[in-house]
Amino acid sequence: MEVIKKFTRVSYKRPVVALGMFDGVHVGHASIIRRAVEIARDIDGTAMVLTFSNHPLSVIAPENAPLAVGNKILRREIFDSLGVQVLFEIPFTKEFSRKTPEEFLEMLSDRIAPAYVVTGPNYTFGRFGRGNGRMLIREGENYGFKAEVCPAVTLGKKIVSSTKIRALIAEGDLSAANELLGHEFTYTSQVVHGDRRGRKLGFPTANLEIDDKHSMLPNGAYLVRVKVGDEIFNGIANVGDNPTFKVAKRRLEVFIDNFSRDIYGENISVIFIEKIRDEKIFDSVEDLKAQLRADLDFLKSKL
């Protein structure tokens, strides 16, 4: 998949463009992208996604910007797996926010010249979000493309949305969040130096800072898989403040089973599978070590 980071003029064979923010790329987003890929195959065209590298509200109203569910690395991987050939991942700026719907459509037509545009029912574009799916269908022919608005996806009679997924993650309902996502909730970040306490306990951990702009599960221990480079390992992740040792800053500590490499400074992805237990304070270091051994036994029995 080719990634383009500027809204520049390109030339591709009969582009079919999926439009949206696609945060987390949940099952509803995936249905839109699959439809664009399907159309592209039917007309021997090029399957494309046009999205932003940052959420528009982070520029328009930063105080209202939603927490991120996924990240650009995971989003690109999912796009690629769905068959997207070209990804436009452009920054949303104040200048861009002032574009009228008509100006956006002119830019789209001039720079990509899509044959088809595909989006979801809640997609808006242009200044104040005045452009929508109905406008795409109505005005598309004037700009040289046909438009299709995919219906909302429902699971259990509830419409799938990023807002609902954020709420489920905050509540700790990992199973329901993963179902709506269509894949496991994943957090990617750089491994930073910790206090090396885990190593002294016999359970060395990779420490990741928790971005306060990113959705995160409640404090506790979780079964996880950890992606390091192209390899995937089983592990146990602890989200929290490490109250036994009175650590003030909330963080993510990951024990990677059968792993001993130095990965400080590397980005790793923590894929959350199942909650093991709530975070708790231990009366002694020996009690903590016993619990960690029990967690490891549980890991080996499950994964």
**Would you list the domain boundaries of the chain?**
2-158, 184-302
Number of other residues whose CB lies within 10 A of the CB of residue 287 = 13
Token representation of residue 116: 């088809």
184-302, CATH topology level? Elongation Factor Tu (Ef-tu); domain 3 (2.40.30)
In CATH, the number for domain 2-158 is 3.40.50.620
- Compute CA distances 222 → 24, 77, 143, 213, 237, whole Å: 20, 23, 50, 21, 5
Asked if the model's pLDDT at residue 107 lies above 90, the reply is yes
253 is catalytic: yes
User: Cα(71)–Cα(225) distance, rounded to whole angstroms?
Assistant: 17
- Compute CA distances 111 → 9, 23, 175, whole Å: 4, 24, 41
Asked if the model's pLDDT at residue 197 lies above 70, the reply is no
Mean pLDDT of 163-167: 96
pLDDT tens digit string along 41-100? 999 999 999 999 999 999 999 999 999 998 888 899 999 999 999 999 999 999 999 999
DSSP 8-state symbol, 197:
H
Query: Is the separation of the CB atoms in 28 and 160 below 8 Å?
Result: yes
Mean pLDDT of 109-128: 96
Q: β-pairing, 86-90 with 2-4?
A: parallel
Which residues, other chains included, contact 51 with Cβ-Cβ below 8 Å and sequence gap of 6+? Answer: 19, 20, 21, 22, 87, 88, 89, 90
The catalytic position among 141, 253, 266, 274 is: 253
User: Cα(265)–Cα(252) distance, rounded to whole angstroms?
Assistant: 15
User: Cα(259)–Cα(234) distance, rounded to whole angstroms?
Assistant: 9
The length of the chain, given as a count of residues = 303
